[in-house]
Amino acid sequence: MSIALWGLIGLAALIVVHVSLDSFLLKGSVGNAWTVGPRDTPPESGRVAGRAHRALWNLLETAPAFLALALVAEMSGRGGLWVTWGIALYLAGRVAYLPAYLTGWPWVRTVIWQVSMVGIVAMLIGVVTG
C-alpha cells in the first residue's frame, strides 16, 4: 500500500479519535439526558469538552485539503519525497495538536498547527512538481 493510502487511513483514525473524545467529553460535561435527547438547545459544555470540540472542527477544516492532495498523489503517482514528508508532518502535527489543545498550551498548539500546515504545503508542492 502506498504512503498516500496509509495517510488516508491515518486521517480516518484521527477523525475517529477526535469524534469519540468530543462525544465522551461532552457527555461527561452535560450528562446523558442531553446527549440522548432531542438536542433542541445548545449545551453548556465544560472547558475541556469545548476545547475537544474546537480541536475536532479545526481538524475537519484542514482534512479536505489533505484528503484531496493524498488522492491526487495516489491517482497520479506524483509526489515522491515531498508527499511522503508532507503526510508525515501533517499527521504528526495533528496527533500532537489534540493534547496540546486539550491542555491549553496556546503557543505550543499554534506551532504544532503550523507543522501540520507545512505538511499540507509540502504535499501540494509534491503533486504540482512531482
pLDDT class of 11 with cuts at 50, 70, 90: very high
pLDDT class of 126 with cuts at 50, 70, 90: very high
Mean pLDDT of the chain: 94
- State pTM to two decimals: 0.92
Q: What angle do CA 75, 113, 130 make, to 5 degrees?
A: 30
pLDDT class of 120 with cuts at 50, 70, 90: very high
Number of domains in the chain: 1
CATH number of the domain residue 33 falls in = 1.20.120.550
- How far, in Å, CA of 31 to CA of 50, rounded? 14
At 22-79, the pLDDT tens digits run 999 999 888 887 778 887 888 888 999 999 999 999 999 999 999 999 999 999 998 7
Q: Containing H/E element for 108? A: helix 106-129
- Number of continuous H segments (helices) and E segments (strands) in the chain: 5, 0
* Domain that includes residue 108, residue range: 3-129
Neighbours of 49 (CB within 10 A): 22
Question: What pLDDT score was predicted for residue 39?
Answer: 78
Instruction: Find, among 63, 83, 75, 70, the residue nearest to 130 by Cα.
Output: 83
